[in-house]
């Protein structure tokens, strides 16, 4: 009987120790950084993937309906290709940067959880945390600009779509459909001497019904939403890294700028 009671007690202690270990491990997970990483990966993937396909569709629409001469849209073609290569770079950079920030979140969270025990934070670690705070802040401001820039094609496509919807509306009192035109030259996309440069009446209606226009319009919307999600993710990163860095700096009583 005594041996059975001792074995059951040892089993209960083992179970309790395993449970406490799991709770301790879960307590060291940087949930804010984890959520921000998932949101950042999702936002960047939507922005880069949808933006790449939407740019290709836009170039197809431009070549087929607004600029028949290759020399007129040669500059636009070069710009689109450069932007697509930039998208590749953005996707690669944020994939690596998100992993680094998540790893930094694990480090700083563990350091903050055990700051008053035997765990010691190094000066180099606090300096790296401060560097990530500054870099994330700069990236957040930059992505605000990207978010605003990604809304421009959505606005342009919405104008074309609303014009086509107005022509098809039965309540619209339009005497001459051919008098309604969309001229992309006024946006500076192609030069003023481009041929034809604008689409009017039934030609404009045909453009709105093409698969390139429909797909590109909705992909630009998704890309804009992805840029907004990335901005939110960077804001969460900034709050998490700033909070952890402040605790590491002020509770440790050491400054990375004064001690090496």
Q: Are 102 and 30 in contact (CB under 8 A)?
A: yes
Task: Enumerate residues 6+ apart whose C-beta is below 8 A from 12.
Answer: none
CA distance 79 to 81: 5
* Digitized pLDDT (tens) for each residue of the chain, 260 residues in all: 445 544 454 455 454 566 566 655 655 566 778 888 899 999 999 999 999 999 999 998 888 888 888 787 788 888 888 988 998 899 889 989 888 888 877 776 665 555 445 445 556 666 777 788 888 899 999 999 999 999 999 998 998 888 888 777 766 566 666 778 888 888 888 888 888 878 887 888 888 888 889 999 999 999 999 999 999 999 988 888 887 777 766 665 544 443 33
CA distance 221 to 159: 14
List Cα–Cα distances, 121 to 133, 250, 256, in angstroms.
Answer: 17, 12, 11
CA distance 237 to 36: 6
Whole-model pTM: value is 0.79
Predicted pLDDT of residue 116: 47
């Amino acid at each position: 009987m005594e041996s059975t009671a001792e074995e059951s007690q040892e089993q209960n202690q083992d179970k309790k120790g395993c449970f406490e270990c799991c709770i301790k491990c879960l307590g060291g997970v940087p949930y804010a950084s984890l959520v921000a990483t998932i949101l950042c990966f999702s936002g960047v993937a939507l922005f880069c993937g949808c933006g790449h396909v939407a740019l290709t569709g836009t170039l197809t629409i431009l070549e087929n309906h607004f600029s028949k001469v290759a020399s007129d849209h040669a500059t636009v073609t070069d710009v689109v290709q450069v932007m697509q290569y930039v998208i590749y770079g953005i996707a690669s950079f944020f994939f690596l940067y998100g992993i680094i920030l998540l790893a930094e979140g694990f480090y700083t969270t563990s350091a903050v959880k055990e700051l008053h025990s035997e765990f010691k934070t190094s000066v180099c670690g606090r300096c790296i945390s401060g560097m990530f705070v500054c870099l994330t802040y700069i990236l957040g401001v930059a992505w605000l600009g990207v978010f605003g820039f990604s809304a421009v094609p959505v606005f342009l496509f919405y104008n074309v779509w609303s014009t086509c919807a107005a022509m098809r509306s039965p309540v619209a009192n339009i005497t001459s459909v051919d008098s309604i035109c969309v001229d992309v030259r006024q946006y500076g996309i192609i030069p003023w001497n481009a041929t034809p440069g604008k689409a009017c009446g039934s030609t404009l209606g045909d453009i709105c019904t093409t698969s390139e226009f429909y797909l590109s319009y909705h992909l630009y919307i998704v890309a804009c939403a992805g840029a907004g999600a990335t901005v939110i993710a960077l804001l969460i990163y900034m709050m998490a890294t700033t909070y952890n860095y402040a605790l590491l700096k002020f509770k440790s009583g050491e400054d990375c700028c004064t001690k090496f």
